[in-house]
Amino acid sequence: MPSCHPTSIRFQRLLLTGAAGGLGQELRSRLKAYCTILRLSDIADLGAEATGEEVRPARLEDASAMHALLEGVDAVVHLGGVSTEQPWGPILQANIVGAYNLYEAARKNGVKRVVFASSNHVTGFYRQDEVVGTDDPARPDGLYGVSKAFGEDLSRFYFDRYGIETVCLRIGSSFPEPRNRRMLATWMSYDDLERLVVASLTAPVVGHSIIYGMGDNTTTWWDNTKARHIGYRPQDSSERFRAKVEAADPHPDLTDPAVLYQGGPFVRTGPFE
């Protein structure tokens, strides 16, 4: 697939964790345009190793495996971990212990840039009639959102203490098209996802930055003004899907918390027994 974000900057070796997931699979083909070697990691099957790829399965909670995974890496796109609301045990291991292991491995291996897949669920308990900026306090809508808030704080600490730059991407909903009314605000095309990740990798100075991963949507709950230094300019809008989405759900229930809050169904998921 041709790159939609041409750049003269090319990395020797990029690491993509969570490469077997939905967005990982999409970025697997796209990130090859920006590096000589793309190292891929997951605990799920990654298939055969293609030209220009290194397939390195590793568990995030395994500190020694993570140290080996980050050897010789120029930068990391970290999508790995639990990506939905789950019981605490899996979230603790993959998203809390795993994030710590990743940053410790980055520190010990001298890796200086991480693109961290955070989530819009860090602020999911803001209402849909509010606009949230990147400096507003976190309001997680579940344990998954709590773990991503932890990852943002951890990455800030590793920047302040050790100088490892991170762009935290509060990803909205990246699919071929929006699936419901909520996604008219949160949707981001795969091309915009690529633009966002590549801008985060190649901006000259990012320090510790937070940016919402969203398209050029008419309806939006998130203000990226303070993240303009990243250079991300979304080009795709959910608006062309509006008529189809609204026709499928003409009368939303305004007493439903999933309709009132930005986190959608995540605000009423669990508890897990």
Name all domains of the chain by residue range, CATH numbers in brackets.
11-268 (3.40.50.720)
Q: What is the pLDDT of residue 8?
A: 66
Q: What is the pLDDT of residue 270?
A: 75
Average predicted confidence (pLDDT) for the chain: 95
Under DSSP, the state recorded for 187 is B
CB 126 within 8 A of CB 221: yes
C-alpha to C-alpha distances, 172 to 106, 214, 229, nearest whole angstrom:
26, 6, 20
Q: For residue 184, is pLDDT > 90?
A: yes
Q: Percent of the chain having pLDDT more than 90? A: 94
Q: What is the pLDDT of residue 107?
A: 98
Q: Quickly count helices (H) and strands (E) in the chain.
A: 9, 9
Query: By mean pLDDT, which of 6-10, 172-176, 230-234 is the weakest?
Result: 6-10
The pTM is what?
Answer: 0.95
CB 165 within 8 A of CB 114: yes
Q: For residue 24, is pLDDT > 60?
A: yes
Residues in the chain: 273
Paired sense of beta strands 11-17 and 35-41, if any: parallel
Q: Percent of the chain having pLDDT more than 70? A: 96
Q: What is the pLDDT of residue 180?
A: 96
Q: Across the beta sheet with 11-17, what order do the strands follow?
A: 53-55, 35-41, 11-17, 75-78, 113-119, 165-171, 208-213
- Strands (E) in the chain, as ranges, are 11-17, 35-41, 53-55, 75-78, 113-119, 132-133, 165-171, 208-213, 222-223
Check 34, 100, 103, 144 and give the catalytic one.
144
Q: For residue 272, is pLDDT > 90?
A: no
Q: Is 103 tagged catalytic? A: no
What would the pLDDT profile of 215-259 be if each residue is shown by its tens digit? Answer: 999 999 999 999 999 999 999 999 999 999 999 999 999 999 999
| Residue 85: closest CA among 75, 95, 98, 71 | 95
Structure tokens, 193: 């996802």
Which single residue is written with the structure tokens 């603790």? 92
Work out the average pLDDT over 85-95: 96
CA Rg value for the chain: 18
Q: How far apart are the first and last CA of the chain?
A: 44
What would the pLDDT profile of 95-140 be if each residue is shown by its tens digit? Answer: 999 999 999 999 999 999 999 999 999 999 999 999 999 999 999 9
Give me the phi and psi of 212, to 5 degrees please.
Answer: -80, 135
User: What one-letter code names the amino acid at 196?
Assistant: L
Structure tokens, 170: 């509060």
Q: For residue 195, is pLDDT > 90?
A: yes
Cis previous bond, 87, omega within 30:
no
Q: For residue 273, is pLDDT > 60?
A: no
Q: What is the pLDDT of residue 7?
A: 62
Q: For residue 82, is pLDDT > 90?
A: yes
Confidence of residue 175 (pLDDT cuts 50, 70, 90): very high
